[in-house]
Amino acid sequence: MTSSQPPLWRRCLAELLGTGLLVTVVVGSGIAAEQLSPADAGVQLFHNTTATVFGLTVLILVLGPVSGAHFNPAVSLADWLLGRGSGAGLTLPEVGAYSAAQLAGAAGGSVLANVMFDVEVSFSATERAGGGLLVGEVVATAGLILLVFALARTSRGLLAAPAVGAYIGAACWFTSSTSFANPAVTFGRMFSDTFAGIAPGSVPGFVGAQLVGVAVALGLVLLLFPAAGRAADDVVVPHPALAEDS
């Protein structure tokens, strides 16, 4: 990461807050949907998806200028892998710092949602297993990574907020897994035994599928946008430090 970026502690704080609030949106809207429409899973998913689309869009707009709004270890890892050849993007230690902040934020966001709705904080009992679900996670994650690097490489990173929100919203419906597409969010959703939860035993499979999705996306990015690594500093959105904030 170049010196023109905000300091690492500030970017990590933005990643912690952004990932935490994203999980709060996902889990909180899932709890509300479950309470409002207890007998209709389709309506529950619609409520949950709508809140996620708008919530993610707003979080990218608010925190993207600070950290790039990765909110996702898969995005941070891809940023390093693609950018290292050109000296752009995160360094490996920064990937570790981002990921730690994202995981901590995700766990905290899930607990916050449980507390707001007076739901006991406990591990989820919702098993999410099977080949079809794992393929869904590969597709969802690959599409997300391809999207953010395509936007950055073509200097359209400022469209990332609505574009990423729209993609995740669509993928919630067209993938069998309902598009977790994020190891940190997957980890965080483990701490809520509600509509949006995932059992601890299902987490490794989902995270493994997401990493496969990263690999697929990297191949596609390199084929379609060979110089995408040069734009790694602009993933998910451009985030140069402002002089008065440095």
Rounded to whole angstroms, the Cα distance separating 215 from 20 reads 26
Q: Is residue 42 a part of any domain in this protein?
A: yes
pLDDT, position 85: 85
Give the number of domains in the chain: 1
Residue 235 within a domain: no
In a domain, 234, yes or no: no
User: In which region does residue 34 sit, left (phi positive, over 0), alpha (psi from -120 to 50) or beta (all else)?
Assistant: alpha
Sequence-distant (6+) residues with CB within 8 A of 77 are 95, 99, 214
Distance in angstroms (rounded) separating the CA atoms of residues 33 and 48: 7
Strand ranges for 94-243 from DSSP E: none
243 within a domain of the structure (yes/no): no
Per-residue model confidence (pLDDT) at position 132? 97
Question: What does the block give as tokens for 164?
Answer: 């990423």
Q: pTM surpassing 0.85? A: yes
Instruction: Write down the pLDDT at residue 243.
Output: 54
Instruction: Report the pLDDT value the prediction gives residue 1, as an integer from 0 to 100.
Output: 47
Tell me the CATH number at 57. 1.20.1080.10
Structural domain includes residue 3: no
Tell me which residue range forms the domain holding 124.
8-224
Mean pLDDT per 10-residue section of the chain, whose length is 246 residues: 79 98 98 94 95 98 97 98 92 98 98 96 95 98 98 94 98 97 98 95 98 98 95 92 63
Q: Is residue 177 part of a domain?
A: yes
Contacts of 3 (CB under 8 A, 6+ apart): none
In a domain, 136, yes or no: yes
